Amino acid sequence: MNGFYNTPQSELRNTSSRKSKFAEFKYISAWYIFGFNLITLGIYVMYWMYTRANLINSIHPKQINSSVISGYVVTYILLIVLPIASMMGFHSEAVEKTNLVLTIANFVLHMILLFTIRARLLEFADEEGANDFTIDPVITFFGVNIYLQYVINKRINQIFPPSQSTN
């Protein structure tokens, strides 16, 4: 029967050798992120942004500006320390103006860092040929790290189904 019962032969490309950059990210439930944000009164947002920006810098040739990362962290810390100093009796008009300037600077740096992380995630997905991968800019603005972690998790699940997930 001329090989009728033989297994069909075909050339297969091994695409598993090309490691996804999303594999570098840790799968963390968006609910955990939400909980950490609440428990730490928002400090976890700063930690998440800092660690993800540094992780992206370690795997992407186009670096996120370290001045933006450092400026974001420093202004965030100063915004925590300044009200404490004000409660301890160092209250003045200069402190209020400084607080206002730091708040505006922190917001601007936060948005730059947030949307730069978003852009790098989109670039990672483009490199992998994930045409259906999107990150909504409006939800990014309002959802901050919870939404971005959700999107990262979704991509990790697409690449590594939960039964095969390494994280």
Tell me the mean pLDDT in the region 116-127: 93
- In the predicted model, is pLDDT for residue 10 greater than 50? yes
Query: Contact 143/34 with Cβ under 8 angstroms?
Result: no
- Rounded to two decimals, what is the model's pTM? 0.79
Q: What does the angle CA 7 – CA 13 – CA 19 come to, to the nearest 5 degrees?
A: 135
Residue 21 has phi, psi (to 5 degrees) of: -70, -20
**What does the pLDDT read at residue 164?**
54
In this structure, what token pair is assigned to residue 167?
């994280």
Query: Contact 135/118 with Cβ under 8 angstroms?
Result: yes
Residue 9 has phi, psi (to 5 degrees) of: -110, 140
Band of pLDDT at residue 128, cut at 50, 70 and 90: confident
- In the predicted model, is pLDDT for residue 55 greater than 70? yes
Residue 153: in which H helix or E strand, if any? Answer: helix 137-159
Please report, for residues 64, 110, 118, 136, the alpha-carbon distance to residue 122 in angstroms, rounded to integers and kept in the order given: 14, 18, 6, 11
Rounded to whole angstroms, the Cα distance separating 89 from 167 reads: 48
**What does the pLDDT read at residue 37?**
93
Residue position matching structure tokens 């029967």: 1
Residue 152 has phi, psi (to 5 degrees) of: -60, -45
